[in-house]
Amino acid sequence: MATIGYARVSSTDQNLESQLELLSHCDEIFSEKESGAKNDRPELVRLINYIRKGDTVECVRMDRLARDTRHLLKLVDDFKAKGVTLKVQNISLDTGTATGRLMLTMLGAIGEFERNLLKERQKDGIRHAKEKGVYTGRKPTAKAKSSEVMAMVADGVKKAEISRRLGIGVASVYRIINDAKTLNDFSLKH
């Protein structure tokens, strides 16, 4: 029966030290600098493969382990299937108890709700900025290269090669070609 720590930050310029210090009592610590939105983080996968019946996985905060309820609950189910419990330090959560499992489900749902609210506020902010003419989004780099794409198509250059030469996606090459065909079809009919 070991205590296995898990620490994570989202980007390489962030620091793991404070989490590692809080997990220093653990028998083993898995740490990484990866986005929490990714479910297949390398060190998390290693941790899951490493844990054994009777172990406890411990993290400093719940959002270090999972970013949404579905992933969090799946991890807890995976842990439970292996006979492993989860402890979250900052909220004194322990999935080895019925109260801890209930609390986990409620907290996970609240966390997901907060993320959805943030996304809604961001969409509203972008919409509002667009209405004011302040936000125009990123410049359409592929469309700016339409004439170059069509010239290469006329020269018989393959679409993947056009993509590589111009530094745009293959899907953008196809979209430009299809837009040109649609425009030609429209002008022939009218």
Tokens 């961001």, residue located? 122
Compute the distance between CA of residue 144 and CA of residue 151 in angstroms, rounded to an integer: 13
Of 10, 11, 147, 172, the active-site residue reads 10
CB 106 within 8 A of CB 72: no
Contacts of 55 (CB under 8 A, 6+ apart): 1, 2, 3, 4, 82, 83, 84, 85
Tokens 């210090």, residue located? 21
Compute the distance between CA of residue 86 and CA of residue 3 in angstroms, rounded to an integer: 10
Active site residue 10: yes
DSSP string for 68-104: SHHHHHHHHHHHHHTT-EEEEGGGTEETTSHHHHHHH
Give catalytic residues, as residue numbers: 10
